[in-house]
Amino acid sequence: MTAPGAPHQNYFHLHLVSDSTGETLINVGRAACAQYVNVLPIEHVYPLVRSPKQLERVLTEIEASPGIVLYTLVDKDIRDQLKRRCTELSVPFMSVLAPVVQLFQSYLGGEPQPRVGGQHALDATYFKRIDALNYTVAHDDGQLSDDLEEADVILLGVSRTSKTPTSIYLANRGIKTANIPLVPNVPVPQAIERLRKPLVVGLIASAERIVEIRQNRLLGLNAPTTNSSYVDREAVSEELANSRRLFARHGWPLIDVTRRSIEETAAAIIGHLSERRRQKIVET
């Protein structure tokens, strides 16, 4: 059943108003929208809204394209102005952080001290993430294999198993990640077998998926897609079988990325990493 006042078309306007970067709102909004497969949001993102003048431009756009309004605003006057105008326009609005902050307050006691963009502070966590990104970019696709012991995670897999984007995602979480391609007839660096600190993870996918991605890549490069073992179904299947045997021989965890998003693959890796750290704590 369509909610009262809801649009009948298969899209709606989603206004995201923030006094910081807007990343929190974007993530929450998209996570909620993903629950409605037949409805698409038209996102209007307004970052760094910190003055009444800046808010006026936002309110003008909300009036021109009514829809859902989500916001994260620390300044009470600006927040009240937005709420008042949304009420006048009869558009739904919500602070995405207020319920969570209220829950924290009821449990922790005391009053919160709101800070604009507090999650983006230049603290140790921030610099750890930057350090991880620098390391990961420098160790992409088998580069600089001399200092792999410094990595938190090492990803192995045949070509087109999403090693690089997964590495970058993990680095954004502060996890130093190196990735090494498995190439036919090229042995894996023996140094990997002697590593103690990094978690080595194998990535695989179905042969059909690998062939499809490789063919698209060759088309993008205007390269021939025939008479090449790179896109031959049997050759790819053999590559994957060899990689599976390698992972099993060393007891390295294996993740099938065929139907996983980068975020889901990274979450599985982080789960393996957390479990490994818990085991080390228990052993000590």
Q: Which residues contact 237 (CB under 8 A, 6 or more apart)?
A: 207
Residue with tokens 């390269």: 223
Q: Which residues contact 149 (CB under 8 A, 6 or more apart)?
A: 195, 196, 197, 198
Torsion over CA: 215, 220, 221, 222 (sign): positive
Helices within 65-121 (DSSP H only):
76-89, 98-108
How far does Cα 227 stand from its chain's mean position? Answer: 37
User: Residues comprising the binding site for ADP?
Assistant: 157-164
User: Residues comprising the binding site?
Assistant: 157-164
Report phi then psi at 42, rounded to 5.
-100, 105
Burial of 75 (0-12, 13-18, 19+ CB in 10 A): middle
Q: Nearest Cα to 155, choosing from 7, 250, 269, 280?
A: 269
